Amino acid sequence: MHPAERILLGPGPSPVPHRVLRALSAPTLGHLDPQYLTIMDEVCEMLRKVFQTKNALTFPVSGTGMAGMECVAVNLIEPGDEVIVCVNGVFGTRMKDVMERCGATVHALETTWGDVFTLEQISAAFAAHPKSKLIGIVHAETSTGAHQPLEGLAAIVQAHGALLAVDAVTSLGGHELRVDDWGIDAIYSGTQKCLSCPPGLSPVSFGPRALARMDARKTKVQSWYLDVSMLRKYYTGGGGGRVYHHTAPINMTYALHEALTIVLEEGLEARIARHAAMHQRLRAGLEKLGLGYIPKRSLHSLNCIHIPAGADDATVRRRLLEEYGIEIGSGLGPMAGKAWRIGLMGHGSTVRNVDLVLAALRTILGR
Ligand SMILES: *Cc1c(COP(=O)(O)O)cnc(C)c1O
């Protein structure tokens, strides 16, 4: 097995620093070893800093970003609950599917892929469905590159006694994201996007209103593996100390520890500013090549552009991979064959990578 050193500029995974890969190879401890518990506590503390929250219940779910989505859904929804899900891309569509599988009646608030939702649209959705107990929304819709503003949303949601659940898989560690200031009740992310860690863990955080909702459940959480009432005893030591639930992915926890250390060494603000600057640099270069963006409000971590007339989608991506070792993403769902997605996430968001992908595209497209 000899995997190549690719330059990962797709929708994830992002490039992983050697420091993080080395952390993966440290000796495996037992999951109840005091040394390991210290490492886990430090991971949770660093996650609170990166999420900008004081939520005690902040921890990495064992599994990728989708496990975080399922974890938030199964713990906060009971069969028969009405919920609103904002659908403007693949991940909103998945959230709707996941919540329906929890037995929810989902009211989908839809807009054109590539667009984002306004506070007025969300207010109107609550007015139409006042019994909704939760709203799910994607902060960074990786399928379209659209950046959803979240400020001001919590006031509307709380006025209806509902919870605000956010998908921050492609924004955590790369975009401004203030869980407490923005009144987010439940949030999940992934390790392999702007945190630049391999895929395998899903950081989540639950606020006090979400905890109260879980504590008031009349039915058992459908998923044994993702039941937070049991998981919290291991991750926070609450309710009688640390007890075995499942074997935490020890070495992945080391990797996340190192990845979060790198985030905090750089400084969250500096890291977010770097993602903004690299996005601007790429955008300026793409515009010179005549390549335009699909979303009006683009993410910094994911650039979704129109495939220009005359260019063959698969050929261009194959040449980028074979000749330059660069991976970019294709369009998903209705955007298949129409869009390219260039990720500038975490360790991959650098001047070198931006200039390299621009030079490679210029050559391949013959511009
Ligand atoms: C990548 C992604 C997910 C899913 O994460 P996996 O790690 O692939 O399970 C969910 N939501 C968004 C917005 C994503 O970009």
Predicted local confidence at residue 54, as pLDDT: 98
Q: Which residues of the chain have pLDDT under 70?
A: 238-240
* Residue 282 sits in the same domain as residue 255: no
Report which ligand 1 atom has the smallest distance to the Cα of 191.
Answer: 7
Measured in angstroms, how far is the CA atom of residue 241 from the centroid of ligand 1?
32
Nearest residue (by CA) to ligand 1, atom 15, is: 142
Whole-number pLDDT of residue 242: 87
Instruction: Please tell me the distance between residue 310's alpha carbon and the centre of ligand 1 in angstroms.
Output: 31
Residue 39 lies in a domain: yes
88: amino acid identity, one letter: N
| Nearest atom of ligand 1 to the alpha carbon of 138 | 13
Residue 198 gets the label, from left (phi > 0), alpha (psi -120 to 50) or beta, of: beta
Residue nearest to atom 14 of ligand 1 (CA): 169
Residue 183 phi, psi dihedral angles, 5° rounding: 70, 35
For ligand 1, the distance from its centroid to the CA atom of residue 169, given in whole angstroms, is: 6
pLDDT at 138 (0 to 100): 98
- Nearest-atom number in ligand 1 for the CA of 193 is 1
| Protein residue with least CA distance to atom 2, ligand 1 | 169
Strands 186-188 and 201-206: antiparallel
What are residue 85's DSSP bridge partners?
A: 108, 136
98 plus 182 within the same structural domain: yes
Nearest CA to ligand 1 atom 3: 65
State in Å: Cα 99 to ligand 1 middle: 16
Q: Tell me, what's the pLDDT at 239? A: 62
Q: Helices (DSSP H) in the chain: which residue ranges?
A: 18-24, 34-51, 65-76, 90-101, 119-128, 153-159, 208-215, 228-235, 250-266, 268-288, 313-324, 351-365
Quick one: 280 and 259 in the same domain? no
Question: 344 and 229, same structural domain?
Answer: no
Q: Do residues 103 and 244 share a domain?
A: yes
Domain count for the chain, please give it.
2
Whole-number Å distance, alpha carbon 239 to ligand 1 midpoint, is: 31
Does residue 1 form part of some domain?
no
d(CA 311, CA 292) in angstroms, rounded, equals 14
User: Last residue of a domain, which of 209, 236, 264?
Assistant: 264
Give the gyration radius of the chain's Cα atoms: 20
Are 276 and 249 part of one and the same domain?
no
CA of 334 to the centre of ligand 1 (A): 18
Residue at a domain's end among 264, 286, 309: 264
Structural domain boundaries enclosing 350: 7-12+268-366
CATH number for the domain spanning 282: value is 3.90.1150.10
Domain containing residue 59: CATH number: 3.40.640.10
Q: Which of 209, 160, 213, 159 is nearest to 180 (CA)?
A: 209
Asked if the structure places residue 112 within a domain, the reply is: yes
Mutate which of 8, 62, 66, 252 for ligand 1? The one with the most ligand atoms within 8 Å of its CB, which is 66
- Residues 133, 209: Cα–Cα separation, whole Å: 12
Residue-level pLDDT at 240:
67
Residue 56 CB partners (closer than 8 Å, separation 6+): 236, 238
Residues at CB less than 6 angstroms from ligand 1 = 12, 64-66, 91, 138, 140, 142, 167, 169-170, 190, 199
pLDDT tens by residue, 239-285: 667 889 999 999 999 999 999 999 999 999 999 999 999 999 999 99
